Copies of this chain bind each other. A is one copy, B any other.
Amino acid sequence: MKKWANTAKRSLPGALAVLAVLLLWEALCRVADVAVSKLPPPSAVILSLYHNASLLAEHSRATLAAVAAGLSLSVLVALALAVFMDRHSWLKQALYPLLIISQTIPIIALAPLFLIWFGLGLTSKIVVVALVCFFPMAINLVEGLEQVDPETINLLKVMQAGPAMIFRSAQLPAVLPYFFSGLKIAATYSVMGAVIGEWLAARWGLGVFMLRSMRSYQTANTFAAILVVVVLSLLLFKLTELAAWLAMPWHRHKSVYPEE
């Protein structure tokens, strides 16, 4: 009970801020008389959300499938890459440029290749999500692993702990803050990544909905889809925060003493 009250209290400023932005936006639309086609007022967006609820739900399902699979895949890829790169410095030096290259190429420029390699179905969307998401985690993990105090590793070596145990006992816990920071970034990008994947080629998904409403000048619908994307992303972000809280119990009792 108390915990819930607490969580609610902590979420309040965020909710208020979002609300404030929405109100300002609504006011702006009304006062400045902005054409709905350019920037629909939140009220119109909500209305559109209501009218398209079942359609949006169906599209969301397709998008979420890609997000779930792609995000999980990206976590695995990032972990595996980071661990191997940390263990073998030549591998790190060899792979780092390729990782960066994988991120500097605008996906849309490679869209045809993607679709030919991964097909027009779910796979290509999963790959896009994974490609967008693994990078922040991989970089953060690699950098975090570099920060791990070598003394702690030495101590474990003295105990003749194997690499797996060293990773579990010393490296992983030490890089968890880095990892979760990367995961938060990734979670934030993931839904958008799926939407982009759907723009490349799709039959279903929020990206399809968004593009179709854009092309038929239904800006309120476009924004309704964006709203769904935003809400899903925020949910994923909150889930990540929860996971971080669960995974790092030792962080819970620290606090700086009140000001002055």
A residues lining the B interface (CB < 8 Å): 10-18, 21, 38-39, 90-91, 93-98, 100-101, 103-106, 108-109, 112-113, 116, 135-136, 139-140, 143-144, 146-147, 149-150, 153-154, 157, 177-178, 180-181, 184-185, 188-189, 191-192, 195-196, 199, 207, 210, 214, 222, 226, 229-230, 233-234, 237, 251, 254-257, 260
Chain A contact residues: over half helix, strand or loop, or mixed? helix
Cβ contacts under 8 Å, A103 to chain B:
188-189, 192, 233
Q: Are B97 and A14 in contact (CB under 8 A)?
A: yes
List 26 contacting pairs A-B, 8 Å CB cutoff, sorted by A: A11-B93, A13-B91, A13-B93, A14-B97, A21-B98, A38-B112, A39-B113, A97-B234, A100-B188, A100-B233, A101-B233, A101-B234, A103-B188, A103-B233, A104-B230, A106-B192, A106-B195, A106-B199, A109-B210, A109-B226, A136-B136, A136-B185, A143-B177, A143-B184, A147-B251, A185-B185
Point out the residue from B105, B144, B195 that lies within 8 Å of A226, measured CB to CB: B105
Q: Are A105 and B229 in contact (CB under 8 A)?
A: yes
- Complex-state Cα separation, A16 to B184, whole angstroms: 33
Cβ contacts under 8 Å, A11 to chain B:
93
Q: Are A94 and B38 in contact (CB under 8 A)?
A: no
Closest 4 CB pairs of A and B: A104-B233, A150-B256, A17-B94, A143-B181
Cβ contacts under 8 Å, A93 to chain B:
10-14
Cβ contacts under 8 Å, A147 to chain B:
177, 251
